[in-house]
Structure 1
Amino acid sequence: MPDIFQSFFLGGFESSTQRRREGVRLDLIASTEHDIRAAEDYALMAAHGIRTVRDAVRWHLIERRRGDYDFSSLLPQVRAARDAGTQVIWDLFHYGMPNGVDVWAPRFVDRFAEFARAVAQVIKDETDTVPFYIPINEISFFSWGAGDVAYLNPFARGRGGELKAILVRSTIAAIEAIRDVDSRARFSVAEPLINILPQSPSPEHVRAAADYMDAQFEAVDFLAGKRAPELGGGPQYLDVVGLNCYFNNQWIDHGPTVYLGDPSNKPLRDLIALAHARTERKVFIAETGTEGTGRAPWLHHVADEVAAAMTAGVPVEGICLYPVLSHLGWDDFRRCPNGMIEAFGNGEPRTVYKPLADELARQQGLFASGYLQRE
């Protein structure tokens, strides 16, 4: 049975802090007012049976100059979680770096490790629970978005492999630094769970799709030391594996999305089993959700698939509703109705999206009863 988290269903607070191309800095923790309403938010989570959350440390606010740390943006969240008895998985790098930090510079790895050490010391000093960290969120997606297609800062092209290696080395260095502070610390990765279908039955296209599929495991393979040993990986750097699952995570290579209901769409239970077999670690759904009226049906689908995977013997530790607070969009600041709690800032009251809350309660009851395999 799951035993790592305080609740099987988790809530994830969207925490992106990247700078857009025009220089605008995103800060979704601030725009949802989670930074000033953390106690209220953790209480809302507890009221809905969620005692474990994903939250984030905002590096750009904490370290404006190298080695000069100001934790005033973090301490309210840490203390609110402590007082509420909420377990937090802390993201240390959620796409955003301080102004002036160059991810390509040789000193980046050490600087990130120094920052991780400082954060770990604060959390150790403020709480007595076993800490949990995701050093770098979505290494694979960030490497692609920031290193290959110029979507995320630093807006590079053709350097995704180079960036992935830097992020893996940074993760390893951060884990070592945190363990120096607190040997009890636990760690996770959060990586997209994808399925790529070939363009045609030709051997060339089948191989290309298979190679693309294999690439989703590069980061965890590097961390575990299964590939690229020069990066310093080893089994001690891969703990719990988080899998990010959305409606558009399956597509034809260089082609359209393969949506749920398409005969070519691979069952999520099989993808979860594949990830477990490949990583040889316990797994959890680290992100899943969708917008609008699809929110409750999507959770129903994901929970049924997770239940089937667990019945087949896959050790799944939880499902994280991500985001649990609706927020403003990355690119256009539109209202994205994708959470269980509507939270668009400007002092607006938190309101519950009842269909999703009801489905969550139903699923919590089913999992608590031990009823897993579902038709």
Structure 2
Amino acid sequence: MQARPSPIASFWGGGFEGADHVNAAGQAVDMHAASGHLERLDEDFSRAADMGLRSVRESIGWRLSEGSGGAIDLRRAERMARCAQRYGLQILWTLWHYGLPPDLCLHDDRLIERFARFAAEVARRLGPMADQPPVYTPVNEIGYLAWASTQPGLLFPPDNTHHEVSMEDKLLRGYEVKRRLVRAALAAVDAIRKVDPRARFLHVEPLCHVVAPAGRPELDETAANVRSWQWQAWDMLGGLAEPALGGSASALDLVGVNHYHNSQWELVTAAPLAWHLGDPRRLPLGTLIEEAWQRYRRPMFIAETGHVGSGRAKWLCEVAAEARRVHDEAGLPLLGLCLYPLVDRPDWNDFGRWHESGLWQVEPANGMRSEVPDFAQALRTLQRGHPAA
């Protein structure tokens, strides 16, 4: 039997930061504009193609594309699609990257029908522009967005509140938001499939590890329980939990995992398990990927990974080694690895502070890009050793 072609164009890909929420200070975030990506779209795609990348993650931005009256404007996304075609790039589209139209909020069931309508229009407009079956992420990081809705300082009311609530209220509120987002994602899958049966769906969530603080073994069970929350969104999407929501293996389709140096932390203190210090409590990324594979048995994709400052090249080499181990040695269907972000980006809450995390640095005064030499060289070396999945 002939193997089904991978829905991802190549093993090596990259992403452009596209969050579009309203932050806690009431500032409307548009990371495509803030990083200069929108203005330098042709240059950024040309750089990605020259680096040997053939797939890029891009955010359409529900908030940026639909107003209070329901009018949908996808001209920005269509421009991206046309530019990507010129450079032979496959775009993996994210429909909802935290922001939503101003007349809706995360605690309103009306968003489900509205989002399905938006998703159908995306499929009608962008699907015909793709040479291969389009790949969509309906809602980016359901688990993170649900958690953010319980944390003061991340989102603007009514998606959040500025006051503290009890831990019990946070857990209940966060889980209800998570269920609502799952329902919206499933409605979007159905709506898109009715328009374009070719479509594939990449559901992206953070892949994490949580441990009890040193010397607190009585918290081991609690830490394990908190760690298990990372599976809730995928479980619901895949029909393993709350089947009445309509999840199924077909809906889950592709599993995208996001992992960074601070994706492993201590319960209570929230202190990261320091990667640069080699904290022995850390688990290898490949071990976490294997755990997800055992749970879902769906093709997987490292949808976001990267580091900051001088650790970028070393981090990439470690992640690539883990990807090679689970793909080549363990035989898992790992479809690829996405560097995120390709172009540096400012902070969501402080637009004057840049993260120094990209393959290309940005000069804030004029938007000029410059390659990070050791990071770029590490990628080129890794590509020669593992050119494709």
Q: TM-score, normalised on structure 1?
A: 0.93
Q: Is the 8 A contact 1:66 1:111 kept in 2?
A: no
When the two structures are aligned, how many residues end up with a matched partner? 370
Q: For 1:262-284, what per-residue CA distance to the aligned partner results, in whole angstroms no more than 9, with x for missing partners?
A: 11111221111111111211111
| Alignment pair present for 1:217 and 2:234 | no
Runs of 4+ in 1 over 4 A off after TM superposition: 200-204, 344-347
2:91 to 67, 88, 97: 88
Give the letter aligned to residue 251 of structure 1.
Answer: W
Residue 155 of structure 1 pairs with residue 160 of structure 2: yes
> Secondary structure of the residue that 1:368 maps to in structure 2?
coil
Counterpart for residue 68 of structure 1: 71
Structure 1 stretch displaced more, 67-76 or 270-279: 67-76
**Structure 2 vs 1, CA of residues 120 and 346 (structure 1 numbering), >3 Å: closer, same or farther?**
farther
2:96 counterpart SS class: coil
The one-letter code sitting in structure 2 at the alignment partner of 1:23 is G
Cα distance in structure 2, aligned partners of 1:103 and 1:348: 34
Q: Deviations over 1:164-192 (max 9, x none)?
A: 00000000000011111100001111111
Aligned to 1:23: 26
Residue-by-residue CA offset, 1:141-162 (whole Å, 9 max, x unaligned): 1110113556224115521001
CA contact (8 A) 1:31 1:344 kept: no
CA contact (8 A) 1:89 1:134 kept: yes
Aligned-pair distance for 1:218? 0.5
Instruction: Give a deviation string over 1:78-98, Cα, whole Å, max 9, x none.
Output: 111122221111010111112
Q: Could you tell me whether the CA contact under 8 Å between 1:32 and 1:327 is conserved in 2?
A: yes
Q: Distance in 2 between matches of 1:93 and 1:204?
A: 39
RMSD (CA atoms): 2.0
Q: How does 1:9-158 map to 2 (within 5 A)?
A: 9-148=12-151, 151-153=154-156, 154-156=159-161, 158=170
**Take 1:148 and 1:351, find their aligned partners in 2: how far apart are those partners?**
36
Q: Are 1:263 and 2:280 counterparts?
A: yes
Q: Does 1:335 align with 2:349?
A: no
SS in structure 1 of the partner of residue 58 of structure 2: strand
Partner of 1:234: 248
For structure 2, the residue ranges without an aligned partner over 5 or more in a row are none
Match 1:293 to one of 310, 318, 332: 310
- Residue segments in structure 1 that go unaligned for 5+ positions in a row: 371-375
Structure-2 separation of matches of 1:369 and 1:57:
27
1:346 and 1:30 map into 2 onto residues whose CA distance is: 14
Tell me the SS of whatever aligns to 2:376.
Answer: helix
Structure 2 distance, partners of 1:236, 1:369, is 25
1:357 aligns with 2:371: no
Is contact 1:31–1:345 with CA below 8 Å preserved after alignment?
Answer: no
Counterpart residue number, 1:4: 7
Distance 1:86 1:286 in 2: 16
